[in-house]
Structure 1
């Protein structure tokens, strides 16, 4: 079944009901690719109908990025046009709404390009947008939309309707009351996060095929879900879908080896069979059957890019994981199973006593500071996750993707 106009309107209403409620006179920015236009237009229609002051849609074209990677002077590839940063800074000044639409029209478009050059061009991932999101200077959300080429990458044929059928379930749009379903799910995740916080763990260990990694946590480690509070005190849900509970680890205390359990789509390249080795909190070795050089380039962007900033746990009840499909889209795949992220630590996962520190103070406390944040999937039926208390006592958290608490 293709997406009908009524379904698109319903989807847009859910976005603004569940994730980023509009207040009178809000500015709304929508980031999309050209193929996402039907959803972008539906979002604009609903936003204006609910009193938005202005809706600005920016379409990014990955094919133009490929041309840049192929031909531009290498010294210019890391540059970002100032007017794009100004757009995000203006949104932050007005404390508006940011909607990022995901679902690449060409997930592996840069596979045959120079991986080092590809890694230098981070567009459309702007550090100014990351600053807005990490500091919740706007209410923001990431949502998926199917495209024919995304469906081809996932299913081997451009069956956009089939991909939409999957998304309809994952987004809970097939429920009698999607708003109530998301409210219930978020309450479950927050309850689980509270249980993890109360365990007062010192570190977490991942064990499985090719994996034995221990991640130290911050003192008074805080676990949460993606129900966030903006700088203006407004609540919002940053991802649809969301199935995770997460914390911000102590980047200095990460040692061992971790094997990714799903491919990762990174700056136009699909990274497969990724393995990272950590020593003293820093990635010391990168291996992958494809895309290793892209990962190395990405992790060389700044000092924090080769360190961890997030530890997230996801159990087997996730509809994304239950589908049995790898979607080659981090928004979905990170909600299929446990994941980690190299790059910036997430402020909501930082203990309250550290949140007011500047970048230098956060770094000194073990909170990673970086201009990047990349999630990669590390969980699965063969991966066991164990919590370790300060006295060395252990508590099993996940086995066979089932909570053991």
Structure 2
């Protein structure tokens, strides 16, 4: 449970900074049954701000486990049309979307066929990803500390300890959390500006088990969290956030990369993940557990086995400094540098949201219905920017941001 005063401050941060709710808004809240206290508090806050209707939808991963165990495998990729229609109407109404994270049992599907588990992507609907990636609604992702999630991290259901971390990461322990977030995003924006000024042709990741070169799209910019939705509202998609990111050229990725943290994906925990790329595509997947889940995920469509994001995070991240692996991508991706297979970040390229899939692909911006981040950074990983003439500048080394003006 979150203390009442903290819960009120959290709701204010989400509804005033993350997704500013206004009168007559249609608001959708997605979560698990364990997230009900936060979902209800967000509904109360949204209605108090004039929302027209708040729809809370709970997804139960235990039902997903039953589906993977018993359903015809050919049906596992299917999604009922009414779920997609819900997202489509939200886009038509230019509404607000809040996704609550923090799985009560991140490894619940560890005892089912991993290849089958990889086929069922619920609750990550492609229709939801489309409206998020194209800024059709104001949307954000937040976390709630359930007992099961705390147990998976600490070995005991210590939700107070987990909330203590979340409160700090969210800057709710600051006198003015909203002002703290504006200042924080401004600092990250300064880093993005330096990267854009260098206009690197490619970046090179090097460390234990990692030697990966990633080409950049000339017109793609490094950016930070904070976008403008179709209706003109500024929103912050992820709370918290510590990253500077861009969309790479999916055709120019070669080498091998080793994940530096476990990845919770589709009800399974992927450990010791290694991916090999050649000519922009994943050619080999290795992991001590969950490799078939990744293979199934990357078989979703033609772009699912290509890169769509490069994100840089240094050792100043409070999430990284905590020393905890949270088994929740919202947090773990903001602890250290990460990459993502699947769809490219459209916000990194001006006008990309109005391009056809073919036009995006021609630029090197990856097109896919999936987008999965995995962590690849840390003190042993060096990230170097390479100019078109071959000159090199170290961006990150020993978890320290090295790139100056």
Q: How many residues align?
A: 403
Aligned to 1:181: 180
Partners of 2:346 and 2:352 within 8 A in 1? no
Separation in structure 1 between the aligned mates of residue 21 and residue 39 of structure 2, nearest angstrom: 16
Separation in structure 2 between the aligned mates of residue 263 and residue 138 of structure 1, nearest angstrom: 31
Aligned to 1:359: 357
Structure 2 residue 140 is the aligned partner of structure 1 residue 145: no
Aligned to 1:378: 376
Partners of 1:246 and 1:311 within 8 A in 2? yes
Aligned to 1:129: 128
Spell out, residue by residue over 1:70-94, the C-alpha distance to the aligned partner (whole angstroms, 9 max, x if none): 1111111111011111110000000
Partners of 2:134 and 2:353 within 8 A in 1? no
Separation in structure 1 between the aligned mates of residue 69 and residue 304 of structure 2, nearest angstrom: 24
Aligned to 2:165: 166
Instruction: Flag structure 1 segments of 5+ consecutive residues without an equivalent.
Output: none
- 1:175 Cα deviation after fit: 1.2
Aligned to 1:5: 4
- 1:353 Cα deviation after fit: 6.0
Separation in structure 1 between the aligned mates of residue 276 and residue 236 of structure 2, nearest angstrom: 33
TM-score (structure 2 length as normaliser) = 0.98
Q: 1:41-80 to 2 correspondence within 5 Å? A: 41-80=40-79
Aligned to 2:190: 191
Q: CA RMSD in A?
A: 0.9
Partners of 2:110 and 2:267 within 8 A in 1? yes
Separation in structure 1 between the aligned mates of residue 15 and residue 78 of structure 2, nearest angstrom: 33
Aligned to 1:115: 114
Separation in structure 2 between the aligned mates of residue 232 and residue 248 of structure 1, nearest angstrom: 24
Aligned to 1:272: 271
- 1:356 Cα deviation after fit: 3.3
Separation in structure 2 between the aligned mates of residue 29 and residue 88 of structure 1, nearest angstrom: 9
Aligned to 1:236: 235
Please give the secondary structure, in 2, of the residue aligned with 1:58: strand
Separation in structure 1 between the aligned mates of residue 77 and residue 26 of structure 2, nearest angstrom: 29
Separation in structure 1 between the aligned mates of residue 166 and residue 207 of structure 2, nearest angstrom: 30
Partners of 2:301 and 2:369 within 8 A in 1? yes
- 1:355 Cα deviation after fit: 5.0
Q: More deviation in 169-178 or 137-146? A: 169-178
Aligned to 1:323: 322
Partners of 1:9 and 1:43 within 8 A in 2? no
Separation in structure 2 between the aligned mates of residue 329 and residue 181 of structure 1, nearest angstrom: 24
Please give the secondary structure, in 1, of the residue aligned with 2:393: strand
- 1:354 Cα deviation after fit: 4.9
Partners of 1:304 and 1:344 within 8 A in 2? yes
Partners of 1:200 and 1:220 within 8 A in 2? no
Separation in structure 2 between the aligned mates of residue 307 and residue 369 of structure 1, nearest angstrom: 9
Aligned to 2:367: 369
